[in-house]
Amino acid sequence: MRCPYCTQTETRVVDSRELPSSIRRRRECLSCHRRFTTYEQPVEQTLIVVKRDGRREDFNRGKLLAGIRQACHKRPVSLDQIERMATEIEGELLQPGHHEVTSREIGEKVMQRLKSLDEIAYVRFASIYRSFRDVDTLADEIAEFKEWKQREAEAKRQLSLSL
């Protein structure tokens, strides 16, 4: 940190306090011994979502939560589970080096988690996300889901037999 009085870079932190949106630090210059205050804010990584039609917009956690909540409406899924799911997805999306993500990737991550959390919520989300044209495509999705569920149950049975 550069001293605003003598422009030397050797300073020490005398006091540090967290504020709601930043960190306040009292510093002392090791050269001129004058004190000054700095406010530090973390740099938040921005994530851009590329929509199906090619538009780009900032990632919005609120939209992610709203979509998951809508799918889980009147289902035995707690708000904590929904929050945890959104946090996990957001964490995966904000990996270093990722600056853009497609809305399709986000939707797939939500469906992947809903599949094992609640069957009805999964089908609700899939019906909106995949925008089924007719009942047959919805029935195909449900059939795929049943197959996945059977594979998961079989894998669990095999795991318990090997223990």
**Mind listing the domains of the chain with CATH numbers?**
1-43 (2.20.25), 48-132 (no CATH)
CA atoms within 13 A on the CB side of 123: 14
Predicted confidence at residue 66, as pLDDT, reads: 94
CA atoms within 13 A on the CB side of 135: 0
pLDDT digits (tens, 9 = 90+) for 65-120: 999 999 999 999 999 999 999 989 988 888 777 789 999 999 999 999 998 899 89
pLDDT bracket for residue 145 (50, 70, 90): confident
Task: Report residue 34: phi and psi, to 5°.
Answer: -90, 155
Q: Give the residue from 72, 55, 112, 58 showing the smallest Cα distance to 88.
A: 112
pLDDT bracket for residue 1 (50, 70, 90): confident
Contact 36, 4 (CB under 8 A): yes
Instruction: Tell me what the pLDDT averaged over the chain comes to.
Output: 87
The amino acid occupying position 111 is M
pTM, full prediction: 0.62
Predicted confidence at residue 43, as pLDDT, reads: 67
